[in-house]
Structures are given as C-alpha cells and as structure tokens.
Amino acid sequence: MESKVSIKNYINTVRNYLKKEEIEDSKIPENFGNSEIHETFTSPSIGIEFVLIPAGEFEMGSPFKEKDEFPYECPAHKIAIKQSFYMGKSPVTQKQWKKITGKNPSHFKGEDRPVEMVAWNEVQKFVKKLNEKEHTDKYRLPSEAEWEYACRAGTETRYYFGDDWSKLNEYAWYAENSGGQTHPCGQKKPNFWGLYDMHGNVWEWVQDNWHENYNGSPSDGSAWEDEDSSYRVSRGGSWYCDASLCSSASRFRRDPENHISNLGLRLLREL
C-alpha cells in the first residue's frame, strides 16, 4: 500500500530523528520541495517494500582524510540526483527471489535473510522477469551514485549515523557481531530515510562497471558503464567485513559471474 506525506512534514520527521539518535554532522538536502509524494510503494507480485528517496545533491566518495579510507573511494565529488526514486527498504530476500526464479541459491538459508550467491548477470535476469511479471520497466539495479545517496540520506559522515564506528553494532551485521553468517533483513536500525542493512549483512550489486577511482565519473547520478572494465561494483560491506569496509563510501570490485555468500542485491524502482 502507498501512503502520502508532505515533504515539509517529512523534513521535520527527519530532523526529529536526527536529534533523537544524536547523529553527527548530518544535514537535510536543501532542495526538498513542498509537493505531495507517495512515501512508500510495495511490489504487488512479490511484496518488496520501497521507500521514496527525494531528489537532491550530495558529496559522493571519501574525502581521503582518514587512515582507513581507500584511494578507489576518491576523489569526493558532487552529484546531482535530479529525479526522485524508490529504493528497496531492505535487500531482496530469499523468499522474494524464489517467487520470481523458483530457486533459492543462498548458502545461508532463511526466507527473510537476504538472497546471496547470485551473480550480476543472474540479477539482471531477475529484474527482467520481475518487470515482465508486473508489466512495467521501472525496476532495476541502482547506480553507484543512487545507492550512496540513498545510504547517506543527507549525512556527510563515515556512516549514516555518524563517524563513530563503535556504534555500528546498532545498525549493521558485520564481522564483529554477525557470527559468520547473514541475518534476517531489517533487524538493525535504519537510516533516517527508512532503509535497513545499507551497512553490512550482504554487499549489494549496483549497475556500474568498476573504475579505480571517480575521475571522469558522471555528475548526474547515472550508472558509469563502459567497455574499459568487465568488472562490476558492489556496495555497503557485509557480515564478513570489518567496520572500515561497511562505510557509506565502501565499494568493491567484482567479476559479474561471482557467486559469493556475502553478496546480494537491492532494487530501485523508478517513479
């Protein structure tokens, strides 16, 4: 079911959340409008819940001022997301994947756990089948920029809750608390746009080809696809990663045929 919310009221809700959670150095995108929007959307065929991500600008990547930031997360650069979109509230679950494909390839079984052991090319087939099932063309993988914008949710800190990695346990399943496995989606705290597991649990495929840095990358939030690299990108860290690999800027190079027990996906739905 969809619900409507005034963006003005939405901003106030975000501010109250920030104050309550004591999130550090966060800011709300300045170009929120005053129109009425649908705050949520649910896929009618397999029940994926989506949250509205409003258009805006942000600084993508790491400023390269911390010792555990990596050159391939740089340089930090401004991105303008001109179109609002829906982002999956959680990674795609095993139950949702099976409804489309009839199979569950995951190593760590559990209907509400994120699906993993899925290659990038298999994800593309999943997306195509979902679009066909619902007679649309609006489902797809997010670009790297859209993913990071949604993850940050207006923040400029290392994580969407601040810079203090010691708080990561409240927001993510990662090496120190995962017990060496995935966990059901949505058990940790979300970011203040209502997205769960953006940090940890499973890495998430995005649409882009891999590049060693952001020099020459698009400034409009679109996927950076070319023939210079056959590799694809995953974002967000996983149950297997330490805190430094679960930041908002974390990214990793993947062969598109990789089947890994800490690699899944999250969908975007265009408006």
Structure tokens at 50: 């989506």
Q: What is the pLDDT of residue 227?
A: 74
Q: Which of 117-126, 201-210, 213-222, 236-245 has the lowest mean pLDDT?
A: 213-222
Give the pLDDT score at 183: 98
Q: DSSP assignment, residue 54?
A: -
Q: Report the distance separating Cα 240 and Cα 261, nearest Å.
A: 9
User: Under 8 Å CB-to-CB from 37, ≥6 apart: which residues?
Assistant: 4, 5, 7, 10, 52, 54, 84
- Residue-level pLDDT at 60: 93
Cα(201)–Cα(88) distance, integer angstroms: 15
pLDDT at 13: 52
Cα–Cα distance for residue pair 156/76, rounded to 1 Å: 11
Q: Is the pLDDT of residue 156 over 50?
A: yes
What pLDDT, on the 0 to 100 scale, is given for residue 229? Answer: 77
Question: φ and ψ at 167, to 5 degrees?
Answer: -90, -5
pLDDT, tens digit, for every residue of 99-144? 999 999 999 999 999 999 999 999 999 999 999 999 999 999 999 9
Summarize pLDDT for 179-191 with one digit per residue, the tens: 999 999 999 999 9
Q: Which residues contact 267 (CB under 8 A, 6 or more apart)?
A: 48, 50, 87, 88, 92, 127, 130, 139, 140, 141, 142
Q: What's the mean pLDDT in 207-229?
A: 88
What residue type is 190 in one-letter code?
Answer: P
Q: Note the pLDDT tens digit of each residue in 159-204.
A: 999 999 999 999 999 999 999 999 999 999 999 899 999 999 999 9
Please give the CATH topology (third level) of the domain spanning 4-270: paralog of FGE (formylglycine-generating enzyme) (3.90.1580)
The rounded distance, in Å, linking the Cα atoms of 104 and 40 is: 27
Confidence (pLDDT) at 262: 98
Q: Give the residue extent of every domain in the chain.
A: 4-270
List pLDDT tens digits, range 17-61. 444 544 444 444 444 333 455 689 999 999 999 999 999 999 999
